[in-house]
Structure 1
Amino acid sequence: MIMPCAVGVDIGGTHFRLAVVDETGQYGIIKKFPSESHLGPHKLIDRVVSAVSGVTQEVPETVAGIGVGIAGAVDHIKGVVRFSPNLPGWDHIPLAEIMEARLGRPVLVDNDADLIAFGEKWRGAGRGYENFLCITLGTGVGGGLILRNEIWHGCGTAGEIGHVTIDRHGARCNCGNYGCLETVASATGLIRMAREGLREGKEGLLAQRITSDPDALSARLVANLARQGDPWALELFAELGKALGVAIASVMNLLCLEAIIIGGGVSEAWDFFIGPFRTEYARRVMPGTRPEVPVLPWALKDAAGIIGAAATIFHKKSNLTVL
């Protein structure tokens, strides 16, 4: 008997990824494509549909459906992307309806960080925990909340820790607010702070690099120079860690969770922000709330959102238990 499978899709501002996943969480080759999000939502949908069609032709008789994760505010019941701060033009786009009509298969759509959390719950660092928060540090900052082994959507968009205010006089965020966690603890936040520091006369390897080649500035460059011991690069990651400490202490004071999982591309610089994070968190968490909560790196890496997206198909189709 051939094991049922699902296609998991993870749509980001720079790239989208997909793979075929079976009911045990095993997955095939992850295929990665440029999003070209500047061309608008419908061009990106065309690219995603084409890529999904390609992989479903390889195992057509066993695909139970397609799970899709995308950054932003998502109505997971209707499959509508209400708003995405890092994807231009995604304003009330009925993504599930469009994809189902073109692919002829069930499509479930949810917030990407929620699905990363669900993937880590099923087959990653979240196994054994009933209640935890998964934070993704990438272009922006996402959050997925697992309560009693299920994604907690609240009335629709719970878990958006990236848009918790940590400084009411802070920088403007892509969401339109000011002082969000995302303005500091993300790739775009690191770049913003680096540019501000350069204008203020900061010196060192990072300053030299971006003065000679402004286009070279990226979160990866900051991380590489932090590994070389550049004081300013290390300072930027310290600020990122402190901002995380402020936000996560507030979450723990409210919910007293069992664990925190941190993933996303920026989390590869773990060693440079985890110390400042722990110090700031300990300063701000209420005594008795879990001052030494487990803070874990994601286990599934780039596969987490894909596996979580596929898991939602199995969960709905056959009541897959995720413990």
Structure 2
Amino acid sequence: MIGVLEVGGTHVSAAVVDPATWRVVRTARADVDADAPEHVLLDSFVAAAGSVDAPPAGVWGVAMPDPFDYAAGIGNFAGVAKFAALDGVDVGAALRARLRADVVFLNDADAFVLGEWAAGVARGAGRCVGMTLGTGIGSGWLVGGVVADPGDPRGGRIHTVTVDGAPLEDVVSRRALRRAFTAAGGDPAADVREITALARDGDATARDVVARSYTVLGSVLGPRLAAFGADLFVVGGSIAASWDVLEPPFRAGAGALPPVRVVVDSDHSALVGAAVHASRAG
């Protein structure tokens, strides 16, 4: 059995995963305040880990969001709107000391697609790309089940791409959609779920906002998927439930795409991916 953690912008999940089947055996989830002090954040990670009764020996896999030095286990969160208290902190050393176990890290989008490759919709795919749509946007690139750097985007991080000199997440992210919808005269309290529901129902403002954002995303990802030679494209994250609304403008911008698989309930994907990563390090 393998203990794993998955840290998101608003939560931490812990689980025990059976490497014989890649089935999540036990899991726990807790809310996290990304603006909390260092000791509060680390306490929440450790508390989650302690709640799933993981085996005392073995390597823990931890899926973390960017920007993070995954090899060294150190946060690089300066200038981003999350986990500022972990900037420069050796998270790996802190977790090893408190869990009394070794710890290895990987990017959360990499963990998502690796989990789907091991036990989900991308099982056994040769060249697979995963995209996570949530608070921000992430991407992971695999060749034969091994995380790969496609070169473009650098390190496989699609959120580092710029569009007309601005970060991609200024166009495609939860905050970008809400800002654009408000600027177009929409309800400033509407979140992505409400905006996409309005677009589904034919609201012209919502449809225009969604179309502009996801046509841009398609134009960014489509050529890179083709250059990578992807034979499968997997979409997950909290916004994936609205893919029926997002897909038409995405395809309009992307052009030809490989087969697309949507994972509406991807809560376990990154946990399984973290377990696969830990199993290879053990």
TM-score by length of 1: 0.79
Q: Secondary structure at the match of 1:126?
A: coil
Q: Deviations over 1:24-75 (max 9, x none)?
A: 211134322111111134311111101211223xx545x5232111111332
Give the counterpart of 2:191 among 204, 214, 218.
218
Kindly state the Cα deviation for residue 299 of structure 1 after the two structures are TM-superposed. Answer: 6.7
The counterpart of 1:232, out of the listed 205, 213, 224, is 205
Please say if 1:293 is aligned against 2:258: yes
Q: Distance in 2 between matches of 1:194 and 1:137?
A: 18
Do the aligned partners of residues 71 and 218 (structure 1) sit closer, same or farther apart at CA in structure 2, a change above 3 Å counting? Answer: same
In structure 2, do the counterparts of structure 1 residues 112 and 86 end up closer, same or farther at CA, with 3 Å as the change threshold? farther
Gaps of at least 5 residues in structure 1 are 169-177, 199-206, 283-290, 318-323
Whether 1:139 aligns to 2:135 is yes
Correspondence for 2:238 among 265, 268, 273: 265
Report the CA distance shift for 1:41/1:134 in structure 2 as closer, same or farther (over 3 A): farther
Instruction: Find the aligned partners of 2:263 and 2:81 in 1 and give their Cα distance.
Output: 22
Q: Does 1:76 align with 2:70?
A: yes
**Equivalent position amino acid for 1:266 in 2:** I
Within the alignment, does 1:40 sit opposite 2:37 as a pair? yes
Q: Which one of 121, 143, 147 corresponds to residue 117 of structure 2? A: 121
Q: Which residue of structure 1 lines up, in the alignment, with residue 24 of structure 2? A: 27
Tell me by how many angstroms 1:131 deviates.
1.3
Counterpart in the other structure of 1:188 = 175
Paired position in structure 1 for 2:164: 167
Summarize the Cα distance change of 1:38–1:83 in structure 2 as closer, same or farther, 3 Å threshold: closer
Unaligned runs of 5+ in 2: none
Task: Count residues in correspondence.
Answer: 277
Distance 2:122 2:264 in 1: 9
Give runs of aligned pairs for residues 58-77 of structure 1, distance below 5 A.
59-61=54-56, 64-77=58-71
Say which of 72, 96, 103 aligns to 2:92.
96
Whether contact under 8 Å (1:86, 1:140) holds in the other structure is no
Map of 1:251 onto structure 2? 224
Q: Which residue of 2 aligns with 1:6?
A: 2
Shift of 1:272: 0.6
Match of 1:314 in 2: 279
Q: What is the distance in 1 between the residues matched to 2:193 and 2:59?
A: 35
Q: TM-score, normalised by structure 2?
A: 0.90
Q: Distance in 2 between matches of 1:30 and 1:232?
A: 40
Distance 1:299 1:150 in 2: 23
Identity level (%): 28
Contact preservation (8 Å) 2:74, 2:88: yes
2:58 and 2:195 map into 1 onto residues whose CA distance is: 42
Q: Would you say the 8 A contact 1:134–1:261 is kept in 2?
A: yes
- Deviation readout 1:252-277 (Å, 9 max, x if unpaired): 35322222211111111101111111
Q: What is the aligned partner in structure 2 of residue 321 from structure 1?
A: none
- Rg comparison, structure with higher value: 1
Whether the 8 Å CA contact 2:29–2:48 is kept in 1: the answer is no
State the AA in 2 paired with 1:14: T
Structure 1 letter corresponding to 2:71: I
- Provide the C-alpha distance between the structure 2 equivalents of 1:293 and 1:41, rounded to a whole number of angstroms: 42
Q: Deviations over 1:86-118 (max 9, x none)?
A: 413132321111100011011111211111111
Secondary structure of 1:30's match?
Answer: strand
Q: What RMSD over aligned residues (CA atoms) do the two structures have, in Å?
A: 2.1
CA distance in 2, matches of 1:232, 1:163: 28
Give the distance between the partners of 2:210 and 2:65, measured in 1 at CA: 23
Q: Any idea what SS the aligned residue of 2:5 has?
A: strand
1:50 has 2:47 as partner: yes
What does the per-residue CA deviation read over 1:196-244, in whole Å, with 9 as the maximum and x for residues that have no partner?
222xxxxxxxx3xx2xxx4x33112212323333222222222232022
**Matches of 2:17 and 2:121, distance apart in 1:** 18
